[in-house]
Structure 1
Amino acid sequence: MHRFLIFGNSGSGKSTLANKLGQDLRIPVLDLDTIVWKPNKIAIRRPHEDSENDLRDFIKNNPSWVIEGCYSTLIKIALEFSTEIYFLNPGIDKCLENNSKRLWEPHKFKSPEEQAQTFEFLQNWIQEYEKRDDEFGYSSHRSIFQQFKGKKQEIIA
């Protein structure tokens, strides 16, 4: 049974690693963005309780999985069920570079043009990662990584 949890800054490679693991092992992948944001609505967050319920349902209904995201409140829930965690921490410059190469994400945006409208906002948001003290910031992710007692890996390159 594999239950991988992947977290880090936007642009750190979470989706790439999650999709590779999911394909290689033929297990479902949950991108937390898909349960946090209202469908086809840019930056309108669903109630936390709804996201939490969806996360718990996914975990309950899948014996093996990969979950990826940057939301510490949801990461902490999945953590207790995880067999292995990955903290992706390649540095701000690499995250910015990856974001600039990001392909269209149809599960998040209606069109490539709509996604492109968020580019500058996301670039700025990525740059604030180490300064933020919210659930999306480095300090929160570092704390989760340090507290986990199971198999874990920090990927910095």
Structure 2
Amino acid sequence: MKNQPTQKIHIYGSVGSGKTTLAKKLSEITGIPYYEIDNAVWIRNPSGDIRRTDQEIERNLEAIVQSKSWIIEGVHTKDWVHQSWQHADVILFLNTGYSTRTSRIMKRFIKQKLGFEKSNYQPTLQLFLNMFKWNNHFEQVDKIRFLQMTEIHKEKRIIVYNKQDVEKWINTFR
């Protein structure tokens, strides 16, 4: 990996950590396509999203990771996500603070409800409230699980804590 350019990047973090924003920015800089794991997990439907089976999710993710280059972002730690970590050149963990994520969740919801920001889902009040639950669950459970699960990939795991860390990392692509 040291002599080859980074072509496969998995961005991990909680809701509101900046995964999608970073994936879009990196995609613009590098020309590498980005994918939201949520779109592999959910069939987007105007009347409500439908969750795919684990087998369907695994097939969707496999099609992505077998391609030459990709940026994948998501918060999932299910068994089917292992293939992404295994194939990644870099696993970037956006370990932003709890209060930062909480603030971003509120700002995002307001922007979506006012039509200033688009989303792949319906920004309902229930989903908004769930994001706070997910953020807390991430802090208590998912973060620890992710670090344990990616320990075998620690040589390619990078942890960033704030915008300055992210910018430094992005600058390696410029």
The Cα of 1:70 is off from its aligned counterpart by: 0.9
Match of 1:129 among 121, 126, 138: 138
- TM-score, L = length of structure 2: 0.76
CA RMSD of aligned residues (A): 1.9
- Flag structure 1 segments of 5+ consecutive residues without an equivalent: none
Deviations 1:79-110 (A, max 9, x none): 1111111011112111111111225475522x
Maintained 8 Å contact 2:65/2:83: no
Maintained 8 Å contact 1:8/1:141: no
1:156 aligns with 2:161: yes
For residues 145 and 95 of structure 1, the distance between their equivalents in structure 2, rounded to whole angstroms, comes to 22
For residues 15 and 156 of structure 1, the distance between their equivalents in structure 2, rounded to whole angstroms, comes to 16
For residues 96 and 29 of structure 1, the distance between their equivalents in structure 2, rounded to whole angstroms, comes to 24
Provide the secondary structure at the position in 2 that maps to 1:19. helix
Deviations 1:108-145 (A, max 9, x none): 22xxxx3142111212221222223xxxx111111134
Bigger Rg, which one: 2
For residues 42 and 122 of structure 1, the distance between their equivalents in structure 2, rounded to whole angstroms, comes to 16
Aligned to 1:108: 120
2:93 aligned partner, one-letter code:
F
Aligned to 1:70: 75
Higher share of residues assigned helix: 2
1:15 aligned partner, one-letter code:
T
**Quick one: structure 1 residues 42 and 93, their matched pair in 2 at CA, closer, same or farther if it must change by over 3 Å?**
farther
1:99 aligns with 2:108: no
Provide the secondary structure at the position in 2 that maps to 1:67. strand
2:161 aligned partner, one-letter code:
I
For residues 60 and 88 of structure 2, the distance between their equivalents in structure 1, rounded to whole angstroms, comes to 16
Q: Percent identity?
A: 27
The Cα of 1:146 is off from its aligned counterpart by: 2.9
- Flag structure 2 segments of 5+ consecutive residues without an equivalent: 163-174
The Cα of 1:78 is off from its aligned counterpart by: 0.4
- TM-score, L = length of structure 1: 0.84
Provide the secondary structure at the position in 1 that maps to 2:96. coil
The Cα of 1:43 is off from its aligned counterpart by: 5.5
For residues 90 and 146 of structure 2, the distance between their equivalents in structure 1, rounded to whole angstroms, comes to 15
